[in-house]
Amino acid sequence: MKVVFLLHNAYGVGGTIRTTLNLAAALADRHHVTVVSLQRHRETPRFTLDPRVTLVPLVDLRPESADAADPLLAEPARAFPSAEGRHRQYSRLHDARAAACLRDCDADVIIGTRPGLNVYLARYGPRGALRIAQEHLRHDAHSKRLRGQLAPHYRKLDALVTTTEADAAVYRERMALPGVRVLAVPNMVPAPDVQPSDGTAKVVAAAGRLVPGKRFDLLVQAFATVAEQHPDWRLRIYGGGTQKEPLQDLIDELGLGGNVELAGVRSPIEAEFARASIAASASDAESFGMTLVEAMRCGVPVVSTDCPLGPAEIITDGHDGRLVPRGDAPALAKALIELIEDPGARRAMGAAALESARRYDPAPIAARHERLFAELRTARRKRAVRQAPKRAVRRARKLAGRVLRRLRPAR
């Protein structure tokens, strides 16, 4: 079977890129897999690409490329939805390349990985292929305007796959998609090539984009309480983004320079989690929570806000981590302090986290996708059988109409 993924930029860094390349590699055990990157900005991808997976970039944004001089690159995209967050990064050249690529595609299955690419898939994808939209963001993270633009196109697809059961339920309730299978399949997170944490390092680790929604400011505020009671513990925050300077200002204002460090981007991140004893997340919302699973795969318990939608499906409170109310710095600090002060519980939760994270092994997640492909093929065949008599009647009526017109005497 030929499987194609549509990815915004396979040469960048991000959770969607990482999980797509992981899934592509897992499916490559049994299928011919291609990743179509709508654009590229560098010579080679930052993440390791399985050699069995073919990478096809469509638009080369490097200054020296021929595409950089193409006048279509300067014209705004028309097919890519205008309310999509990446719209300004798309052009008529992207529209044209995506259309040509999909119309010539002989894949059995094509999977889009963000809303705008799912629209490309609905508009240009060959009808003979299974067309599957993945949603790596929450339904409620999309504006009302974007949801209105997506719905007519999503109705043309075979399936919509979210990363959590909670988000799938929201789509079923709020976006009418008759005939489209809506289901959840979590991201896969392979076992890292590092030794699990032994739970003795006096380090709390956190990772993610330094943006407002991740609420690293809340985590820093909570850690001020932790540092008062346990000044020998450290918080290391990994990632880059627009909130770096405000976060550093907050760290300085709270006098936490010796306790909290903005440690920059690390890829892969697992080695840093393995050097910690606790991981933390203070997000207001998570469509899934890749870093939570990555920490758990390193034998590290996670203290996370119980935000929509992913953490509660990943963490069992009190067993392999802790869930605390969203936006509650004192509750976050209390949970961290309890684990700091109870090494036995910390190590037990770390062992439980390591075990429960096996749910996200590549093999079972890839198998769920393969079952979906088979089920969608079967559903198509059944629809074709049910619709065959109606199509035969329509063809007969058209044929009879042509015959009658020929027999009708000329006036």
Q: Domain 2-184 adopts which CATH fold?
A: Rossmann fold (3.40.50)
Residues 309-344 have pLDDT tens digits of 899 999 999 999 999 999 999 999 999 999 999 999
Beta bridge partners of 184: 162
Q: Return the pLDDT at 207.
A: 96
Res 128 pLDDT > 60: yes
Q: In the predicted model, what is the mean pLDDT of the chain?
A: 94
Mean pLDDT of 372-394: 80
Name the token pair of 308.
Answer: 């929509």
Q: Return the pLDDT at 244.
A: 97
Pairing of strands 278-281, 260-264: unpaired
Which band of pLDDT confidence, cut at 50, 70 and 90, is reported for residue 177? very high
Angstrom distance (rounded) from CA 149 to CA 78? 13
- Kindly give, in sequence order, each residue whose CB lies less than 8 Å from that of residue 16, ignoring residues fewer than 6 positions away: 7, 8, 113, 114, 136
Residues 95-105 have pLDDT tens digits of 999 999 999 99
Residue 152 is which amino acid? P
Which band of pLDDT confidence, cut at 50, 70 and 90, is reported for residue 278? very high
Which band of pLDDT confidence, cut at 50, 70 and 90, is reported for residue 410? low
Q: Which residue has the tokens 């205008």?
A: 82
Res 109 pLDDT > 90: yes
- Are 62 and 40 in contact by the 8 Å Cβ rule? The answer is yes
For residue 24, which of 171, 155, 134, 168 has the smallest C-alpha distance?
134
Q: Return the pLDDT at 405.
A: 77
Task: Provide φ and ψ at 203, rounded to 5°.
Answer: -135, 130
Q: Return the pLDDT at 13.
A: 82
> What percent of the chain lies above the pLDDT cut of 90?
89
Mean pLDDT of 163-190: 96
Each domain of the chain, given as residue ranges in start order, spans 2-184, 203-360
- Are 205 and 263 in contact by the 8 Å Cβ rule? The answer is no
Q: How far apart are the first and last CA of the chain?
A: 58
Q: Return the pLDDT at 409.
A: 67
Mean pLDDT of 232-247: 96
Q: Return the pLDDT at 388.
A: 59
∠ CA 376-133-363, rounded to 5°:
70
Angstrom distance (rounded) from CA 172 to CA 169? 5
CATH class of domain segment(s) 203-360: alpha beta
Burial class (CB in 10 A: 0-12, 13-18, 19+), 263: middle
Name the token pair of 134.
Answer: 């993945």
Q: 2-184 and 203-360: same fold?
A: yes
Mean pLDDT of 371-395: 80
